[in-house]
A and B are shown apart, each in its own frame.
Chain A
Amino acid sequence: MQSGQMQAITGKELEYIVDSISNEDLLIKQCAATAAVTQNPAIQQALQQYIRSMDHHLDMLVQSLQQHQQLAPTQPQQ
């Protein structure tokens, strides 16, 4: 990502990032719970791969919050 494009995020963007973290978290837990009970090795393997992808998504979302941390104003603005 190019740092030149970085802007302070809006309240709406923050909400979407937080909701997305919640979505990915739920998906990871569902995949893990299903992988634990499935008898089908192909499905188990696929679910484990999905968990890795979703874990990477979580990383991206958390990193984007961290990257915008310093740009965020400390006082409410117009």
Chain B
Amino acid sequence: MYYQNQNQSAFMQEEDLLYTILADLKRTVREYTTAATESSCPMVRQMFSQLNNDTLRLQGELYNLMKQNNMYSTSGKALRQDLDKQIQDARNTQQQCRQFVQQKTSGMSPYAHAPNVPLHQQNNQNPYYM
């Protein structure tokens, strides 16, 4: 694969070189996130956070550039039925999570009265508006 074009003396194809840079940018972003979360000194944390944002920006720029030059193929589109199923599952998760929170926190403040409408009715009617 590396020697299929006329540029046979190249160390690696340009596309593979760029992909390696992209992969290392992704790894570096992850490491900056870990470093920021494990920093004790506020200045060091701020620096890692800033480096994280900037490296994430570079990774995004390189990804777009590779995509524009047809060097990166994204995975196939997710199917509608898969989305439908995941949305339904997510709604159930969300509802159970809220019920759990309700059970745990209902006695915590004078404002935590029992609701006089069925729980989460509005979310079932309009799940896209939170």
Is A39 within 8 A of B44, CB to CB? no
Q: Are A37 and B17 touching (Cβ within 8 A)? A: yes
Q: Closest CB of chain A to B1's CB: distance in Å? A: 17
Interface size, chain B (Cβ < 8 Å): 34
Q: Are A50 and B65 in contact (CB under 8 A)?
A: no
Interface pair A9/B44, CB less than 8 Å apart: yes
Inter-chain residue pair count (beta carbon < 8 A): 102
Would you call the interface of chain A mostly helix, strand, loop, or mixed? helix
Please give the distance in Å from A1's CB to the nearest CB on chain B. 5
**How many angstroms between the C-alpha atoms of A68 and B42 in the bound complex?**
12
Number of chain A interface residues as a range = 35 or more
A43 touches B65 (CB 8 A): yes
Across the interface, do A39 and B58 meet the contact criterion of CB distance under 8 Å?
A: no
Interface residues of A (CB under 8 A from B): 1-2, 5-10, 12-13, 16-17, 19-20, 23-24, 26-27, 30-31, 33-34, 37-40, 42-43, 46, 50, 53-54, 57, 60-61, 64, 67-68
List 30 A-B residue pairs with CB atoms under 8 Å apart, sorted by A's residue number: A1-B43, A7-B43, A9-B40, A9-B41, A9-B44, A10-B40, A10-B41, A13-B35, A13-B39, A13-B41, A16-B38, A16-B39, A16-B48, A17-B44, A19-B35, A20-B48, A23-B24, A27-B24, A27-B25, A27-B28, A30-B21, A33-B11, A37-B11, A39-B14, A40-B69, A43-B14, A43-B69, A53-B54, A54-B58, A64-B44
Residue numbers of B with Cβ under 8 A of A are 10-11, 14, 17-18, 20-21, 24-25, 27-28, 31-32, 34-35, 38-44, 46-48, 50-51, 54-55, 58, 61-62, 65, 69
